[in-house]
Amino acid sequence: MSELRIYVGPSGDCIAGDRWGRPDDEQQRIQKDFAAGVRLVISESLGEIRGFVPAYRSSAEAFYAVLTTEKTETLNTAQFVREVQDLFDETDDWYVRADTPEGKLLETLNSSTVTTMSPRIPTDEVATGQSVRIGIRDIETAGEQLRAVRSRLSEQPPKLYVLSLSSGVDHVSPDLFFHVSNRYDDVTVLSD
């Protein structure tokens, strides 16, 4: 059983889903994600996927969606995207914007095509629980590589993935961190 909530990015106000049944610190996580440029978090320990959603209501706005599942369920990025899309499609005059990098990330996360994982991603370190930081040029490629790593390490996945536009995210300690910036030419392993 899954549950989807939608938050306004800057304020962290919950505008859709069970506002009263959400964890106490969820709104704070959304506000911190927004301030830090985080675009996607997959947390196996919390049983949730949180992601930036570029959308339109009466104007272009920034939202975050949180999909929570039973902790025994496998977190599925395609399910996350489908549930977000369904919620926005059900509401008159709301839609997810596909014309933004984050909109393209959502399309990538919903794709059934599995991309070949870059040989530069140190899967042995990730599989053994070491924290790995990857620099990557664009958000779509980051999404493709995240899906490839999750597919490759499906038996023993990292507990926490983060994809961010900022190189420094202090409020989460991911096992696998993707820093998206045009300063990288290719997939680059970053030192701490």
Instruction: Compute the Cα dihedral for 12, 13, 16, 19 and give only its sign.
Output: positive
As given in the structure block, the two tokens for residue 76 are: 């599925």
Structural domain boundaries enclosing 147: 2-190
User: What is the predicted pLDDT for the residue at 192?
Assistant: 64
User: What is the predicted pLDDT for the residue at 150?
Assistant: 87
Using DSSP, state whether 102 is helix, strand or coil. Answer: helix
- Is residue 114 predicted with pLDDT exceeding 80? no
The model scores a pTM over 0.85: yes
Provide the domain count of the chain.
Answer: 1
What's the CA gap between 157 and 191, in Å, rounded? 21
